[in-house]
Structure 1
Amino acid sequence: MLTAFEKAVGKPPEELRVPSNVVEKAKTREEILEIFQSSCPESTVYHLSNGSFMALSQDNESVQPHPRCIVVLDDVFCIFIGTLENTSDLRRHYGLPRQATEAMVVVEAYKVLRDRAPYPPDQVIKDLQGKFAFILFDARTDTLFAARDRDGSVELHWGMAGDGSLVCSHNLDIIIDACGKFCSPFPPGCIFTSGSGLMSFVHPMHKVRAIRREDDNGQVCGVTFQVDLYTRIPSIPRTGSASNWADITLVKEENNIHP
């Protein structure tokens, strides 16, 4: 699997920016795709706006640790790697037929999140139980959505190409070839959207911070993203929520106030 989204669409985290000392080793989207297609001539490639693309190769699928597929539904493109343990429950929840694959379930979950449900993204992704990683792109809104399961069971790496594009792949060698060594594992238990950035769906009230790595010469050679459990994101209480009603009841009891 390989995806590349031009900077204005992918909006990669600034921490992924290639340092000046290695920028010459990073490639453009066109060069990255050419190399990928030359090594995987039977791959499926979807060309998106402004030179962005999503590609998937089925080569050697029988020896891969996880199944992979790509689907396109209502201008939503999704590459899914892995399996969901609760696919049947999710099909019923979203009103999908028994033939719906994991990728189709993810697309439907995204569409519900986008169009109908006032749920935060972390609540939707928490419903996905299994070993997975996926990249989803909504061509109608130019929205990128990516996620990796909480245990990091499926490989997913990302980096910034020489032209500033956001590049993602389950194959570390592909990422290194495209972006140089300045790349990073996509953090487990996290989601990334081009609108809201990177967040943890396991710890949604805590920030995900970037920690830069240095080589023996003190040169920055990469970055790792980790959840900062010591820093809590300020939140605005949701008026009328069950927790707020519980708080009000507690205050009334403490003050012997009866309705």
Structure 2
Amino acid sequence: MLAVFNKSIGKPPKELSLPVAGGNCSNSSPQEIAEVFRSWRSDSTFYNLSSGNFLALSHHDENPAHPRSIVVMDDIFCIFSGVLHNTCDLRRHYGLSRQATEAMIIVEAYKVLRDRAPYPPDQVVKGLEGKFAFILFDSKASVLFLARDRDGCVQLHWGTAADGSLVCTDDPNVISASCGNRHTPFPPGCIFISGNGLISFDHPLNKVRGITREDAEGNISAVIFQVDLFTRLPSIPRRGSASNWADATVVEGE
């Protein structure tokens, strides 16, 4: 799976744009990334959105234990990779039929958060039992929503394109070819929401920091995102508006 969103929607953490020593120094444009993915994945299906944003799905080299699927409902696009172990409970909870897939469940969970917001998004993702990663985009609200299970069982990588766009994929070769030396694994147990930034769903009130590691010569050898248990984020009082579901929990740290 692949998704590319311009930085006005998928504003990545600044640490994600730091070059890591030893890698390819050249990152590609969104158009070049799309061309490379098409050439490598002849079975891929593209979903072109406004402003050059796009998602793509391929079943090439798919792990049978972590199948990929996509659903488009009410102008919401969701690519899901992996499996949920509590689908029956989730279907009942969201009033869905027995035929509802994992991707459909994620879309319905997002719609409940967006429209009614009875509890913060970290609580919803925390209730997903299984091995998964997903990329969701609400084209009407221009909201991007990413998540990965807490054990990191399903691959998800993110990086920046040449124009600063956010690139997300489950393929390490695609992210390396697309982003050069400006990419890193998406942190397990975290969610990323447009406007909110990166949040741990186990520690939603603690800041998730981008930590740089340096080699003996002082060059950045890796960028790793992890929870800072000593830095808490300020909470925002709920205002009851359906439009502020995403920012009802925390604000993005500086």
**Shorter-chain TM-score: what band?**
0.7 to 0.9
2:29 partner letter: T
Aligned partners of 2:222 and 2:28: how far apart in 1? 17
Aligned partners of 1:215 and 1:65: how far apart in 2? 37
> Residues 20 and 104 from structure 1, CA distance in 2 versus in 1: closer, same or farther, beyond 3 angstroms?
closer
Aligned residues: 237
| Aligned residue in 2 for 1:81 | 81
| Aligned residue in 2 for 1:36 | 37
| Aligned residue in 2 for 1:154 | 154
> Residues 20 and 105 from structure 1, CA distance in 2 versus in 1: closer, same or farther, beyond 3 angstroms?
closer
Q: Which string of whole-angstrom CA distances, capped at 9 and with x for unpartnered residues, describes residues 22-71 of structure 1?
A: 8951000000000000111110110011111101101233x554111011
> Residues 181 and 34 from structure 1, CA distance in 2 versus in 1: closer, same or farther, beyond 3 angstroms?
same
1:51 partner letter: G
2:33 partner letter: I
| Aligned residue in 1 for 2:52 | 51
> Residues 7 and 233 from structure 1, CA distance in 2 versus in 1: closer, same or farther, beyond 3 angstroms?
closer
Mapped contact 1:135–1:146 kept (Cα < 8 A): yes
What is the CA-CA distance between 1:219 and the residue it aligns to?
A: 1.9
* TM-score of the two chains, using structure 2 as the length reference: 0.88
Q: What is the root-mean-square deviation of aligned Cα atoms in Å?
A: 1.9
What is the CA-CA distance between 1:216 and the residue it aligns to?
A: 4.5
For 1:1-259, list aligned pairs within 5 A.
1-19=1-19, 25-61=26-62, 63-235=63-235
Aligned partners of 1:170 and 1:60: how far apart in 2? 11
What is the CA-CA distance between 1:223 and the residue it aligns to?
A: 1.1
Aligned partners of 1:109 and 1:77: how far apart in 2? 13
Aligned partners of 1:46 and 1:85: how far apart in 2? 28
* TM-score of the two chains, using structure 1 as the length reference: 0.86
| Aligned residue in 2 for 1:241 | none
Aligned partners of 2:20 and 2:190: how far apart in 1? 28
1:224 partner letter: I
SS at match of 1:8: coil
Identity %: 62
What is the CA-CA distance between 1:237 and the residue it aligns to?
A: 7.9
Structure 1 stretches lacking a partner, 5+ long:
239-259
What is the CA-CA distance between 1:118 and the residue it aligns to?
A: 3.0
Aligned partners of 1:167 and 1:179: how far apart in 2? 8
Structure with more of its chain in helix, by fraction: 1
SS at match of 1:10: coil
1:55 partner letter: A
What is the CA-CA distance between 1:220 and the residue it aligns to?
A: 2.2
SS at match of 1:207: strand
Structure with greater Cα Rg: 1
Aligned partners of 1:237 and 1:38: how far apart in 2? 48
Aligned partners of 2:117 and 2:9: how far apart in 1? 24
Mapped contact 1:181–1:222 kept (Cα < 8 A): no
Mapped contact 1:131–1:153 kept (Cα < 8 A): yes
